[in-house]
């Protein structure tokens, strides 16, 4: 389960990329994301589901950009807190993508992990490519297998 990236993207758009605006409004956005994830996970558990719940965190679209990566880390911290509250576990996509971008100097696009932008095929959008999706799938599968073996 993943949640919250669009909330952060909407914040960036509403602030027109202004770092001061983003910084001042981010705590409220993260509180909302945390509350929403806690509600979803709590409601899921209330159905009687006792299985493994995996929350997928997010990758940075550019690990060489400390501002972008900091926003992603803050979102991931909010998701991890909500997952812990409801007995979920986090599939750490952030670290997997970070490791995969080392040869590309932290550039997720240059590492081939993002789709080409429909507007300009020489740039990337924020969505994972097939390679990125495969990496996410491996991280989720590994996280699930590790959780199952620990039971």
What residue segments make up the domains of the chain, in order of their start? 5-149
The residue count for the chain: 151
Instruction: Please state the rounded mean pLDDT for residues 115-136.
Output: 93
Mean pLDDT of the chain: 93
- Report the chain's C-alpha Rg in angstroms: 16
Distance, CA of 107 to CA of 34 (rounded, Å): 28
Structure-model confidence comparison of residues 148 and 141, the more confident one? 141
Q: pLDDT digits over 11-40, tens only?
A: 999 999 899 999 999 999 999 999 999 999
Asked if pLDDT for residue 151 goes beyond 60, the answer is no
Would you state the pLDDT for residue 140? 97
pLDDT at 3: 84
Residue 84 three-state SS: helix
Alpha helices in 53-128 (DSSP H): 66-85, 93-100
Average pLDDT of span 107-121: 93
In this structure, which topology does domain 5-149 adopt according to CATH? Rossmann fold (3.40.50)
Burial of 57: CB neighbours in 10 Å, binned 0-12, 13-18, 19+: buried
């Amino acid at each position: 389960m993943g949640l919250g990236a669009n909330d952060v993207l909407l914040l960036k758009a509403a602030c027109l990329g202004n770092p001061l605006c983003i910084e001042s409004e981010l705590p409220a956005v993260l509180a909302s994301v945390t509350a929403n994830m806690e509600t979803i996970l709590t409601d899921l558990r209330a159905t009687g589901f006792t299985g493994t719940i995996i929350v997928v965190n997010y990758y940075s679209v550019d690990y060489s950009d400390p501002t972008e990566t900091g926003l992603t880390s803050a979102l991931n911290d909010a998701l991890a807190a909500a997952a812990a509250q409801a007995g979920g576990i986090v599939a750490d996509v952030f670290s997997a993508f970070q490791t995969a971008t080392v040869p590309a100097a932290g550039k997720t696009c240059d590492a081939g992990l993002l789709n080409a932008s429909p507007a300009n095929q020489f740039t990337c959008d924020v969505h994972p490519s097939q390679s990125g999706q495969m990496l996410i799938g491996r991280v989720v599968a590994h996280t699930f297998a590790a959780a199952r073996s620990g039971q």
